């Protein structure tokens, strides 16, 4: 058996050994805690540098995109539709098209953006939105620091590491309570967007016309076979764009010269088809020998479209004769047609002639090209069959026939040739409920004989 002195000596020696071990572990833990706090601080500094660099680059990119497409709202629309990376590509492509058109190509008009209600978004808000939020690294390695006797006694320096590193970060001006970015910004504006066949074009208008014609034919076949009315309508619009580009190619041969009556008539037909595609009635018309005709379209609608097209072509003819490029004229016509504004050509003054060719385009008020367009072209146009014995006019619903119209119809039945013509002429001075415009002579006769 061991003596009492030996037992006491063993216990005292063990206690001293434990005390030395605890002190050694405490010193090592202090050193490791300082080291890990420093590591976390340095990672936080690098993360802030990464965030600031990304934020600066993204802000510069968004400001550049806003300059190219016209507004931060347009940039937000592109990012919302396509993502940030693809939005940059689209913005560059649109800007290149505008440059090639001499500044006439209207980017926001091509995107079909709706009007913003309320405050617009800022470039800084968009940059904050697309930049990954800054994340201060979590405390790691704390469980490995508490080794030996400190682990035995439950020592854990994690909180101390965080406290020390947070203090270092705060002293550096780096926030430590960063959360996932929840930027409070307006929603993206609505809009039609630009379709792929519109976005990418060929410089040669004749080649581009062939490209668009091929796309239109494919769309028409697929839309017809699948019963996709939206695709059929779009096919008509693509075909109209194809003809517009072909018209540009023809005009390039006669820059600075007035077009012949035949050329003007062809351009007017092309513009009529384009207007019909905009107002949703293109499929009710059709092509005969490359000329767009009314076919099953209500005559009042076709007449309205033809009149608007003729108005645009008169301005276009003047601009072309003054040396404006066919592409600039074409872009101006399309902008006026899409926004339903009259087109105005401003030729250069006599003092500037010889230094600057052509002139500039401006536009009238919204809805100044086709008045009462919503009444003439309902949101969901319906193709009406021609009335019995008529020549293609639209059917007038019985509940829209006025008492005066009924009286005229009854008188027409018993009138002679001269009397019938008087009644027809009188009816052309009144409104046709089916079209929202005055009766044409043919529409009046169709109604009276139905």
pLDDT digits (tens, 9 = 90+) for 159-202: 665 665 566 556 666 666 655 444 567 888 888 888 888 888 88
Q: Is 411 exposed, middle or buried (0-12, 13-18, 19+ CB in 10 A)?
A: middle
Integer Cα distance of 53 and 34 in angstroms: 29
Looking up tokens 């993204």, which residue turns up? 58
Residue with tokens 């309320």: 118
**In this structure, are residues 419 and 394 in contact, taking their beta carbons and an 8 Å threshold?**
no
d(CA 241, CA 270): 9
Q: CA–CA separation, 344 vs 329, rounded Å? A: 11
Residue 450, classed as helix, strand or coil, is coil
Q: pLDDT digit of tens for each residue in the chain (450 aa)?
A: 445 554 455 445 544 444 444 454 444 545 555 666 666 666 766 777 788 888 899 999 999 999 999 999 999 999 988 899 999 999 999 999 888 777 767 888 888 888 888 888 999 999 988 888 777 656 554 444 444 434 434 445 666 656 655 665 566 666 666 554 445 678 888 888 888 888 888 889 999 999 999 999 999 999 899 988 888 888 988 999 899 999 888 888 777 777 888 888 889 999 999 999 888 898 888 878 778 888 889 889 999 999 999 999 999 998 888 888 888 888 889 889 988 999 999 988 766 666 666 788 899 998 899 988 888 887 533 333 333 333 334 455 554 556 566 666 766 766 666 667 767 767 766 666 555 556 677 777 777 877
Burial (CB < 10 A; 0-12, 13-18, 19+), residue 36, is buried
Q: Which pair of tokens denotes residue 82?
A: 């396509």
Write the pLDDT tens digit of every residue in 403-444.
Answer: 566 666 766 766 666 667 767 767 766 666 555 556 677 777
* Beta partners for residue 113, in sequence order: 191
For residues 137, 138, 139, 144, the Cα torsion angle rounded to the nearest 10 degrees is -110
Angle at CA of residue 96, ends 90 and 97, nearest 5°: 90
Rounding to the nearest 10 degrees, give the CA dihedral for residues 346, 348, 351, 357. Answer: 180
Q: Which of 124, 98, 326, 104 has its CA nearest to residue 209?
A: 326
CB 26 within 8 A of CB 150: yes
- 136 vs 141: CA distance, rounded Å: 15
**Greatest distance between any 2 Cα atoms in the chain:** 150
Structure tokens at 137: 């690294």
Query: Quick check: 109 and 217 in contact, CB under 8 A?
Result: no
Q: Are 306 and 272 in contact (CB under 8 A)?
A: yes
Distance CA 367, CA 346 (A): 21
Helix (H) or strand (E) holding 48: helix 4-69
Which neighbouring-strand residues pair with 140? none
Q: Supply 148's token pair.
A: 């030996």
């Amino acid at each position: 058996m061991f003596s009492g002195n030996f037992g006491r000596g063993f216990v005292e020696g063990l206690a001293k050994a434990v005390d030395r071990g605890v002190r050694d572990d405490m010193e090592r833990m202090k050193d490791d805690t300082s080291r890990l706090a420093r590591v976390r601080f340095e990672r936080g500094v690098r993360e802030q540098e990464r965030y600031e660099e990304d934020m600066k680059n993204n802000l510069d990119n968004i400001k550049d995109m806003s300059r190219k497409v016209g507004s931060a709202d347009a940039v937000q629309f592109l990012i919302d539709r396509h993502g940030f990376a693809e939005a940059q590509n689209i913005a560059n492509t649109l800007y290149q098209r505008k440059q090639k058109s001499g500044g006439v190509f209207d980017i926001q008009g091509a995107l079909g953006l709706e009007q913003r209600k309320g405050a617009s978004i800022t470039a800084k808000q968009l940059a904050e939105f697309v930049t990954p939020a800054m994340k201060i690294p979590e405390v790691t390695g704390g469980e490995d620091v508490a080794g030996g006797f400190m682990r035995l006694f439950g020592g854990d320096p994690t909180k101390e590491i965080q406290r020390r590193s947070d203090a270092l970060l705060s002293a550096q001006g780096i926030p430590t309570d960063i959360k996932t970015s929840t930027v409070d910004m307006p929603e993206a504006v609505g809009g039609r967007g630009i379709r792929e066949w519109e976005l990418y074009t060929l410089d040669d208008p004749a080649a581009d016309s062939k490209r668009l014609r091929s796309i239109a034919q494919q769309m028409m076949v697929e839309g017809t076979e699948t019963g996709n009315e939206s695709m059929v309508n779009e096919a008509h619009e693509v075909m109209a764009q194809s003809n517009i580009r072909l018209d540009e190619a023809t005009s390039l041969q006669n820059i600075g010269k007035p077009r012949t009556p035949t050329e003007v008539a062809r351009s007017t037909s092309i513009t009529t088809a384009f207007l019909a595609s905009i107002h949703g009635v293109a499929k009710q018309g059709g092509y005969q020998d490359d000329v767009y005709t009314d076919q099953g379209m209500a005559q009042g609608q076709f007449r309205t479209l033809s009149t608007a097209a003729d108005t645009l072509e008169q301005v276009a003819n003047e601009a072309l004769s003054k040396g404006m490029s066919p592409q600039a004229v074409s872009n101006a016509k399309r902008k006026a047609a899409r926004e339903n504004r009259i087109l105005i050509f401003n030729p250069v003054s006599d003092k500037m002639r010889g230094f600057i060719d052509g002139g500039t385009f401006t536009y009238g008020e919204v809805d100044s090209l086709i008045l009462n367009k919503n009444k003439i072209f309902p949101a969901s146009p319906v193709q009406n069959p021609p009335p019995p014995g008529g020549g293609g006019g639209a059917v007038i619903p019985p509940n829209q026939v006025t008492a005066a119209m009924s009286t005229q119809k009854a008188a027409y039945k018993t009138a002679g040739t001269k009397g019938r013509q008087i009644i027809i002429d009188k009816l052309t001075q009144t409104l046709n409920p089916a079209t929202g415009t005055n009766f044409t002579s043919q529409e009046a006769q169709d109604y009276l004989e139905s």
